């Protein structure tokens, strides 16, 4: 899903532009997220675990901290719905 690649890039930019994050944490997150093998795993996980609505929500956010709002759009897993 192309949207997952776009979201990966967008989230990297949000991390880089976040002025509330400690510089060391920011650098560590960016190094981790931009490693080719980590990047591939994140995109694969996105394709397997996120809904299109969730990814579109992430792409619309302008601050890293706002990404939490998009988690409510995650697809429900079978085991989660059985617990209710």
Mean pLDDT of the chain: 91
Contact assessment for residue 16 and residue 28, using Cβ atoms and an 8 Å cutoff: no
pLDDT given at position 1:
80
- pLDDT over 80 at 81, yes or no: no
pLDDT given at position 53:
97
Quote the distance between the C-alpha of residue 59 and its chain's center: 9
pLDDT (tens digit per residue) in 45-59: 999 999 999 999 999
Domains of the chain: which residue ranges? 2-68
Q: What is the DSSP letter of 13?
A: H
Round to whole Å and give the CA distance between 76 and 83. Answer: 12
pLDDT given at position 79:
54
pLDDT given at position 84:
43
């Amino acid at each position: 899903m192309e949207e997952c690649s776009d979201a990966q890039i967008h989230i990297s930019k949000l991390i880089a532009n976040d002025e509330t994050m400690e510089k060391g944490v920011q650098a560590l997150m960016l190094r981790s997220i931009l490693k080719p093998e980590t990047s591939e795993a994140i995109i694969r996980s996105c394709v397997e675990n996120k809904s299109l609505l969730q990814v579109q929500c992430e792409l619309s956010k302008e601050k890293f901290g706002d990404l939490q709002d998009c988690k409510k759009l995650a697809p429900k897993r079978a085991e989660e719905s059985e617990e209710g």
